[in-house]
Structure 1
Amino acid sequence: MFLLLVVITSGIYYLGSQFVEQTSSLWAEMQRAADRLTVQLQDYEWARDYLPTVDQFQDQWTSGGVMPHVMNGLRRLMWAATAVFFVLFVGLYVAFEPDLYRTGIVKLVRPPRRERASEILHKLHQALGRWIIGRLISMSIIGVCTVIGLWLMGVPMPFTLGCLAALLTFIPNIGPVLATLPQALLALQVGTNVVLYVILFNVALQSVESYLITPLVQRYEVTLPPALTIVVQLVMTALLGIVGVFMAAPLTAAVML
């Protein structure tokens, strides 16, 4: 059991380190893709009055108009990645040694209420354990399929984009939409028709995830009501920012006991 935990932890750490190393390259690629998009849109008369030229865009990028927002987005992404890894690591440790942590927490409760506290913690362990297993399955499938699909279409940095898609799958409802945006932007470097292919690919992949993968993993995963999940996401985002988005789903799973 300990060896399995070490293997899983090492795999997550390796993939996470590779993802972090390539994040700076991802932003550079996105800048070039944005330049390309600006050039292409300048060919349309209706867009000339609303869009800056390439030189103006680059001046805005380097003079402080765009770069602070990019760096802020990068910091938010790193905080989000940290939050995901934190939740996964804590969940894995608790899943492999639940009695150790449950016993320690129960000792903090008054003796007359320890039995009830132990029952609640046992239910929490079961619910969150099933939820984490379900999320890991969905994240793995989405990540692998995204890497393969983008690689076949010739989109730059498929591994990084696949890791980002897997990471954002952790967020119900809005995660897939956020994952599609950088993929479509980088697909511009290959061709405008590839952007359409990327969007259609993500729509198809999310349809498979929603109607095939999710029903299969629901035997392990706690079923979360969409409306309640969205409300909790909004509240947690207002309280904790981007970290709150990632914490909303496990909190909802705990509430649904």
Structure 2
Amino acid sequence: MHEKEHPDQGHHPVDPPATQRRVAKRTTVISGIAILFIAIAAAVVLAADALLLVFACILMAILLYKLSEIMARRFHMNRKIALTIVVVALTAIIGIGGWAMAPQISEQSTKLAEEIPAAVKRLQGEVQQHPLLKRVVDELPPPEQIVKQMGNMVPNAGLFFGGVIGALGNVVIILFVGIYFATSPSLYTQGALRLVPMTKRPRAKEVQQELGKTLASWLLGKAASMLIVGVATTAGLMMLDVPLALILGIIAGLLDFIPYLGPIMAGIPAVLLALSISPDLALYTALLFLGVQMVEGYVLQPMIEAKAVDLPPALVIVMQLIFGTLFGFAGVALATPLAAALAVIVKMLYIEDVLGDKPAQ
């Protein structure tokens, strides 16, 4: 007779304690990831100004490194010597230029602060004569409140400290930290790579290099664009005999760092001042800004995007609105390079690595 087979023979009973341990381990891991995510999100929100300041320092370092690299390659010299020359040259140009134009800039800035409220009042008086526009004007705040709101943007323009002194402090921090980063970039890039698992480090290095290349190309192109826009706007306003042409041109050049929204912000005070003289001059001033921005948008911007990253205008504006809402004026100013960096990360780490959609060779 055959020995009766036990019903459980050949089966390994599941150990309930082992199952419970696995479940507890998974729960702990998921909870830890959730807590880490919440902690990172809280840190980003609470330390947003400091993080934006660090990103601005990185942008400065990339710009200085790229300029020194170009000089070192062209003149066959040591890169650190080239970096020293670049820093000294930029400091001399800005310092001498600022010292030479400081009295005029200071005088025109004071006049601009006085003329804008008067121009707004004159504009409101003119529009009161038109019934359709009168409704819109009645909804606008008084000129004093408009100027106060514009003044409130100044502390928000600072990334870490508020006010004018804080803005100067930010410039000093960005410059010196950028110089330190640009002097020994490998010290910081290799340190960041050590935080990545060893098997992923080659790919992380590729992403890191692509980020640096993209931001460097964008910064060089944008710096050239800002200079051209500032000079062209100043020259055009002088030819039109618009008051305070120098300070308005400087504002136009600086705000050109912010695509799409920056030119509008720069054009409003110029058109208001021109309108205080005559409607025709205001029209010519608006056409001047429109012409400069058309050249910038159809000639300079494509050249920048050809070597950097092609960002759709709608995406840039949405990013400006989001970062502006979260971080103030500094978020608006840094939205485009942040969007360019995020585009590279999404493209390489998600589209290429996760989805497997490799770019065409």
Residue by residue, what CA displacement relative to the aligned partner does 1:95-144 show, whole Å, maximum 9, x if unpaired?
A: 67543432343345555554443332222111111111111111111111
Shift of 1:9: 4.1
1:188-207 counterparts in 2 under 5 A? 188-207=275-294
Give the 3-state SS of the residue equivalent to 2:268 in structure 1: helix
Structure 1, 239-248 or 106-115: larger mean CA deviation: 106-115
- Is 1:3 the counterpart of 2:89? The answer is no
Structure 2: distance between partners of 1:108 and 1:11: 40
- Is 1:152 the counterpart of 2:259? The answer is no
Structure 2: distance between partners of 1:123 and 1:224: 16
Counterpart in 2 of 1:72? Answer: 152
- Is 1:237 the counterpart of 2:319? The answer is no
> 117, 122, 130: which one pairs with 1:31?
117
Residue by residue, what CA displacement relative to the aligned partner does 1:149-190 show, whole Å, maximum 9, x if unpaired?
A: 111111111121111111221112222222111110111233
Counterpart in 2 of 1:256? Answer: 343
Letter in 1 for 2:270: Q
Shift of 1:16: 7.2
Structure 1, 196-205 or 86-95: larger mean CA deviation: 86-95
Q: RMSD of aligned C-alpha atoms?
A: 3.7
Letter in 1 for 2:111: S
Structure 2: distance between partners of 1:174 and 1:122: 30
Structure 1, 161-170 or 69-78: larger mean CA deviation: 69-78
Asked if 2 retains the 8 angstrom alpha-carbon contact of 1:155 and 1:187, the reply is yes
1:119-198 counterparts in 2 under 5 A? 119-198=206-285
Structure 2: distance between partners of 1:48 and 1:207: 28
- Is 1:106 the counterpart of 2:193? The answer is yes
Give the 3-state SS of the residue equivalent to 1:5 in structure 2: helix
Letter in 2 for 1:68: K
Asked if 1 retains the 8 angstrom alpha-carbon contact of 2:127 and 2:134, the reply is no
Letter in 1 for 2:276: Q
1:45-124 counterparts in 2 under 5 A? 46=131, 61=144, 65=145, 68-76=148-156, 82=167, 89=175, 93=179, 98-109=185-196, 113-124=200-211
Structure 1: distance between partners of 2:322 and 2:111: 33
Structure 1: distance between partners of 2:105 and 2:259: 23
Q: Answer with 1 or 2: which has the greater Rg.
A: 2
Asked if 1 retains the 8 angstrom alpha-carbon contact of 2:120 and 2:272, the reply is yes
Shift of 1:201: 1.1
Asked if 1 retains the 8 angstrom alpha-carbon contact of 2:217 and 2:304, the reply is no
Shift of 1:256: 2.1
Percent identity, aligned pairs only? 32
Counterpart in 1 of 2:304? Answer: 217
Shift of 1:200: 0.9
5+ long unaligned stretches in structure 2? 1-81, 345-361
Structure 1, 178-187 or 223-232: larger mean CA deviation: 223-232
Asked if 1 retains the 8 angstrom alpha-carbon contact of 2:258 and 2:333, the reply is yes
Counterpart in 1 of 2:20? Answer: none
Shift of 1:196: 0.2
Asked if 2 retains the 8 angstrom alpha-carbon contact of 1:137 and 1:217, the reply is no
Structure 2: distance between partners of 1:148 and 1:165: 12
The structure, 1 or 2, with the larger RCO (C-alpha pairs under 8 Å, 6+ apart) is 1
Asked if 2 retains the 8 angstrom alpha-carbon contact of 1:154 and 1:190, the reply is no
5+ long unaligned stretches in structure 1? none
Structure 2: distance between partners of 1:142 and 1:87: 27
Asked if 2 retains the 8 angstrom alpha-carbon contact of 1:95 and 1:125, the reply is no
